[in-house]
Amino acid sequence: MSALKAIAYKTAKKGKMNPVFCANVSLLRGVENDVFGRPGKRQVTVMSVEQWQLACQEINTDLEWLTRRANILIDGYQFSADDVGKVISIGDDVSLIITGETDPCAKMEIAHPGLEQALLPQWRGGVTCKVVTEGLIQVEDTVRIR
């Protein structure tokens, strides 16, 4: 069983990430207050603790997860291409459908040399999702992927 370890949003495209303990996730806004929350394939981004740690180990550093600029951090799971179309359920209400891989971009290289390359293998950069059912999520909620 996986758990929700952290939540964050950004109010501007290149703005700083704002960590929160809980957040509403909606069909129209994704994670509340997030600039990229509008409906579409990349409404919410989800990343795995284990895959983030692998990327950091590869470049011999220990970066804060917010460096990746994802909305949701979970533990106990590693994403792959086989996950496209699967549903991530968080807590009692929220469901997200996995639409694809979150491709690492040049911002990762600016954050730390080698990070963009370290995120490329095995979907280490996480996944993009679309909101299916809305509700409130909070840190330590149970996460199920099916």
Listed by start position, the domains of the chain span 2-145
| 51-95 pLDDT tens trace | 999 999 999 999 999 999 999 999 999 999 999 999 999 999 999
Average pLDDT over residues 1-13: 94
Q: Which fold has domain 2-145?
A: M1 Pyruvate Kinase; Domain 3 (2.40.33)
- Kindly tell me if the per-residue pLDDT of 1 is higher than 90: no
pLDDT average, residue stretch 18-28: 97
Where residue 32 falls among pLDDT bands split at 50, 70, 90?
Answer: very high
Cα-atom radius of gyration of the chain, to the nearest Å?
A: 14
Whether residue 14 is predicted with pLDDT greater than 90 in this model: the reply is no
Q: 8: which residues sit within 8 A by CB, 6+ positions away?
A: 17, 18, 19, 20, 31, 66, 70, 71, 72, 73
Q: Look at the pTM and tell me if it is higher than 0.85.
A: yes
Q: pLDDT confidence of 37, banded at 50, 70, 90?
A: confident
